Amino acid sequence: MGQFGTEFCDHIAIARYEDGAWQASSIEPLKPLPMHPASHVFHYASTCFEGFKAYRWDDGKARIYRLKDHVARMQKSAASLRLPVPDAGMLAEMVRDLVAHHVDDIPAPPSSLYLRPTLIGTLENIGAAAAPSSEATLFVLASPVGDYFSGGASTLKLLVEEERARSTEQLGSTKTGGNYAAALGPTLEAKEKYGVDQVLFCPNGDVQETGAANFLLISDDEVITKPLDSTFLHGMTRDSVLKLAADLGYQVNEREFTVTELLQLVTTHEAALSGTAACLAPVGTLVYRGEEFKVRDGDAGPNTEKLRKVLQDIQYGLAADTHDWLTQVK
C-alpha cells in the first residue's frame, strides 16, 4: 500500500446539480472529470470536502465511522460557501453504495478505506467573483490506506505561531481547500527553518489548531482543548475523543488558553493532535521563539495512547459502539 491517499478504488460515486436540482447519483468508473476552464471552482475556490473511514470487520461487512456527522458537516461547509447543499440522504447513500461496491477492497484493521466526498462549483462563468455557483458536481473517492502508526507512534514537533492564523474567522470551521492552502506556506517555512512537523496556530496568543488537526492537552484526569467557534475546524475525532474521555472519567475542559499557559501545562500534560488519519498523534516538542520546550519527557504519553486505543477498538469492532457512531454496510 502506497503513501496515504495515493491509491484509489476503481469506481467513484457521483451526482450533479443542474437546473436547480440534484440529479440521480450513480457509481461510475474512476476517470478524469470533464471540466470547463471557466468552472467556478478554478477561479473562486468554490469547493469543500470531507474525510472519514470505513472498516471491514471479521464478519466481512463494512462499518463507516460517523457517517451522519460528516454528512451534516459537509452540508454546513456547502452552505457557508453558498454551494448547492447536498441532500443528507442522497450523500449518505452515495457513500454507502460506494463502500458496498468496494467492500472486498477494504484492508483489514488497522488499515481501512478512506472516503473523500468532494463538492465543487462548476458554473462556467469567470465573471462570477461575487456570485455563487449555481451548478455543482458532488463525488466520493475511496482510497485504501494503511495504519498511520505502522512504525510506532513517534512524537511530533510543533512550531508555536503567535502572529498568523490558519484561516479566516468566517471560514475556519468550513472544510475547504483554501484553508489548507493558507496554512501550507507557514508550515513549509517552519519545517525548513525549525525542522518541525506542523505549526500550531495561536494568533494573538490564543491556542487554536495546526494546519490539519485539532490540538489537545491530556493529563491523568483531564482533557483541555479550545471550545468550538468559527475560527477552526470542528473535528470529528476531537469530538469522539472528548466524549470517550468523559466516559472514562476524565474532566473535559473546553476553554480558551494562551501560549503562556500552554508552556506551563506541557510540563504536566501530554499534548496530541487529533484527526482522521492519525486518530491521536502524540506531540513531544514545542518550538517557541527559537527555544525548544519538551512536552513532559518528550515521549508519547500513556493517556494519549489509552484514548487512541479506546477509539480504535470501537472502529475495529473490538469494543461496543455505545454512541451509535458506526453505520453498517451489508
Summarize pLDDT for 24-46 with one digit per residue, the tens.
Answer: 999 999 999 999 999 999 999 99
- Is 61 within a domain? yes
Q: What confidence score (pLDDT) does residue 152 get?
A: 61
Q: Residue 7 is placed in which grid cell?
A: 491509491
Summarize pLDDT for 116-130 with one digit per residue, the tens.
Answer: 999 999 999 999 999
Instruction: Answer whether residue 154 shows pLDDT above 90.
Output: no
Residue 131 sits in the same domain as residue 161: no
Domain boundary among 126, 145, 164: 145
Q: What confidence score (pLDDT) does residue 191 get?
A: 95
CATH number for position 171: 3.20.10.10
Residue 78 sits in the same domain as residue 141: yes
Q: Residue 94 is placed in which grid cell?
A: 452515495
Residue 295 sits in the same domain as residue 216: yes
Q: What confidence score (pLDDT) does residue 151 get?
A: 58
Q: What confidence score (pLDDT) does residue 163 get?
A: 86
Summarize pLDDT for 212-263 with one digit per residue, the tens.
Answer: 899 999 999 999 999 999 888 899 999 999 999 999 999 999 999 999 999 9
Q: How many domains does the chain have?
A: 2
Instruction: Answer whether residue 169 shows pLDDT above 90.
Output: no
Q: What confidence score (pLDDT) does residue 101 get?
A: 97
pTM score over 0.85:
yes
Selected residue with higher pLDDT from 228 and 2: 228
Arithmetic mean of pLDDT, 145-154: 73
DSSP string across 116-160: EEEEEE--B-TT-TTS--S-EEEEEEEEEE--TTTT--PPEEEEE
Q: What confidence score (pLDDT) does residue 150 get?
A: 58
Instruction: Answer whether residue 165 shows pLDDT above 90.
Output: no
Residue 38 sits in the same domain as residue 186: no
Arithmetic mean of pLDDT, 147-158: 78
Residue 193 phi, psi (nearest 5): -80, -40
Q: Residue 219 is placed in which grid cell?
A: 493529563
Q: What confidence score (pLDDT) does residue 308 get?
A: 96
Summarize pLDDT for 83-102 with one digit per residue, the tens.
Answer: 999 999 999 999 999 999 99
Q: What confidence score (pLDDT) does residue 99 get?
A: 98
Highest mean predicted confidence (pLDDT) among 1-10, 182-191, 301-310: 301-310
Structural element, H or E, at residue 279: strand 279-288
Q: What confidence score (pLDDT) does residue 283 get?
A: 97
CA distance 48 to 125: 19
Look up residue 258 and give its DSSP letter: B
CA angle in degrees (0–180, nearest 5) for 145-148-149: 145
Residue 70 sits in the same domain as residue 169: no
Instruction: Answer whether residue 70 shows pLDDT above 90.
Output: yes
Residue 261 sits in the same domain as residue 181: yes
Summarize pLDDT for 171-181 with one digit per residue, the tens.
Answer: 888 999 988 99
Residue 178 sits in the same domain as residue 311: yes
- Is 4 within a domain? no
Confidence label for 166 from pLDDT (cuts 50, 70 and 90) = confident
* Full domain range(s) for residue 308: 156-316
CA angle in degrees (0–180, nearest 5) for 305-306-312: 85
- Is 5 within a domain? no
Domain boundary among 123, 145, 167: 145
- Is 3 within a domain? no
Q: What confidence score (pLDDT) does residue 170 get?
A: 76
Share of the chain above pLDDT 90, in %: 87
